[in-house]
Structure 1
Amino acid sequence: MSSFTLPHSSPSCSVKLTPDLSQDQLLSFPAFQNWISTLQHSLSQQKSKDHAFYSSPYQLRSIDIQSVDFFGGGRLGFVKLKADISNDDGEKLPGSVFLRGGSVGMLLIIQPDDEPEGADGEKYVILTLQPRIPAGSLSMVELPAGMLDDSGTFSGGAAKEIKEETGLEVPESQLVDLTKLALEDVDQKSGERLQNATYSSPGGSDEFLPLFLHQRRMPRSQIQELQGKLTGLRDDGEKITLKIVPLNELWREGARDAKTLSALALYQGLKLKGKL
């Protein structure tokens, strides 16, 4: 196994690689770039006398890459690592990290076009059913979502995933960034630079999810045609079935999916504040 010193690290931080991973591959991996820059900025905030760890600050001392997964074409996909973060008193912070980068989730609310304009009565949400092997499921109910491809905008990624998973064409201009809208008034006294997104499992993974909203009216016949429709990129192993559920039943239908509950909470909160 090879190792190198992380550039611009202070104190010096050694990085141990796996045999199938090079220094250049790791340093050019967007998920690693985002994670290390965010972590280093957060660690720098300990210099403030108001910080909880000011008297005995923590430092990143080493990184041990434990395993990696590559996607098609040799593209680095997932990285599992262990970071040694400790202070001079010998106290350590949990440092097991699964790097996979950002994803986007989409709350798609549709309404029959024979309903009165502006009426809140009859609305539906498009969910997906698909295999999720990590959860041991072949038919997980969840919000349409997908990993970011490290290019373009979050809203562009959302529009792309909507097309792939539902077949609906949605211009970026018609997407509302729920997470950004909710967080714009949040006072981040910590000075940290986190994403305007929901973190699905911050105790173990860097994954963050900007959540978007799209609302549209359509004929009842088209809504009915969406129910049970087969979608997804079959060549990429996606086997997705659409499920249309009433908006007022979303909290129950999507109760196992953190994306669904987060998007619903943001939607309801922003409506309550008059921002939607």
Structure 2
Amino acid sequence: MSTFTLPNTQVTVKLCDDLTREQLLEFPAFKIWLHRLQTSLSLQHTNPSHTFHSSPYTLRSLTIQSLDRFGSSRIGFIKLSAFITNSASESLPGAVFLRGASVGMLVVLQPDDLPRGSEAEKYVLLTVQPRVAAGSLEMVELPAGMVDDGTFVGTAAKEIKEELGLDIPEGELVNMTELAIPGSEKGDEGLPRAMYPSAGGCDECIPLFLHEKRVPRGTLSEWTGRLTGLRDQGEKITLKLVRREDLWWQGARDAKALGGVGSLGRTET
């Protein structure tokens, strides 16, 4: 197991097999996570009212335990352990699964024979697909996708096209989490305006985007049961159409869906 010291720090990094220093330092999820952590740690010293100001914590070392690759070369996920202590030898939980940001999409459809401005008969498109990590072959959730090299809004538009078959201009997507979460304030940690479904062990953050579309009534019946997704990449997605008022229980196991229910109320006020 090879080791190195993070540039401009005294933090020792132990690498797992099949991972080089350069690959780790260029992995986008690692770079973003490390920057956010270092920003948060620095606030202990600069903010006298910080909870840990009197005995600040320091990142001492990192152990990269394992990784998964997409294809033969590109890193997909990394599992690491961060050793963070203070002068009293107290430590913080440091198990981290790095996978990077994702986006969630709330697509609301309404028959176009209803008057414009009507709130009647609005439906939400959900996906049903295998989620092996949850032990499920039929998980019901909002459409979602990982952010690779693009922007949040660009990824959302791309995923809507891939999973739902809808071409939606980026300018027609409403970022609901930006509406729900206040903008950055002086002294805050600079986290993205997004939801964290599993902050106790994973870096994934998810902004939720809304798009409302009027469609011919006959089209609605065509959505439920449609098979979509990138089949050659293992995506086995079936679409499910539910009434908007039923989203809270139809998607109750999905954090994105529950977040969308709360955000919908804000966009309508």
Taking structure 2 as the reference length, the TM-score comes to 0.97
Q: How far apart in 1 are the matches of 2:20 and 2:50?
A: 36
Please point out which of 158, 161, 186 is paired with 1:160.
Answer: 158
Give the equivalent residue in structure 2 for 1:230.
Answer: 227
Give the equivalent residue in structure 2 for 1:74.
Answer: 73
Q: How far apart in 1 are the matches of 2:42 and 2:122?
A: 47
Give the equivalent residue in structure 2 for 1:247.
Answer: 244
Aligned residue pairs total 268
Q: Deviations over 1:97-144 (max 9, x none)?
A: 000000000000000001111011110000000000000111100000
Give the equivalent residue in structure 2 for 1:175.
Answer: 173
Q: How far apart in 1 are the matches of 2:103 and 2:96?
A: 20
Q: Deviations over 1:190-233 (max 9, x none)?
A: 52010111111000000000110000100011111111100000
Given that residues 179 and 266 in structure 2 are in contact (C-alpha distance below 8 angstroms), is that contact kept between their aligned partners in structure 1? no
Q: Deviations over 1:72-101 (max 9, x none)?
A: 141000000000010010000000000000
Given that residues 57 and 86 in structure 2 are in contact (C-alpha distance below 8 angstroms), is that contact kept between their aligned partners in structure 1? yes
Please point out which of 191, 213, 216 is paired with 1:216.
Answer: 213
Consecutive aligned runs of 4 or more in structure 1 exceeding 3 Å deviation:
187-190
Q: How far apart in 2 are the matches of 1:72 and 1:184?
A: 39
Q: How far apart in 2 are the matches of 1:53 and 1:233?
A: 47
Structure 1 residue 189, shift from structure 2 partner: 6.3
Give the equivalent residue in structure 2 for 1:140.
Answer: 139
Q: How far apart in 2 are the matches of 1:23 and 1:127?
A: 41
Letter in 2 for 1:270: T
Structure 1 unaligned regions, length at least 5? none
Q: How far apart in 1 are the matches of 2:186 and 2:247?
A: 34
Identity %: 57
Structure 2 unaligned regions, length at least 5? none
Please point out which of 196, 199, 204 is paired with 2:196.
Answer: 199
Give the equivalent residue in structure 2 for 1:93.
Answer: 92
Give the equivalent residue in structure 1 for 2:44.
Answer: 46
Give the equivalent residue in structure 2 for 1:35.
Answer: 33
Q: How far apart in 2 are the matches of 1:8 and 1:183?
A: 33
Letter in 2 for 1:124: Y
Letter in 1 for 2:57: Y
Q: Deviations over 1:159-202 (max 9, x none)?
A: 000000010111101000111122235x7565201011111100
Q: Deviations over 1:237-261 (max 9, x none)?
A: 0000000000010001000000000
Structure 1 residue 269, shift from structure 2 partner: 2.4
Q: How far apart in 2 are the matches of 1:236 and 1:15?
A: 33
What SS does the corresponding residue of 1:158 show, helix, strand or coil? Answer: helix
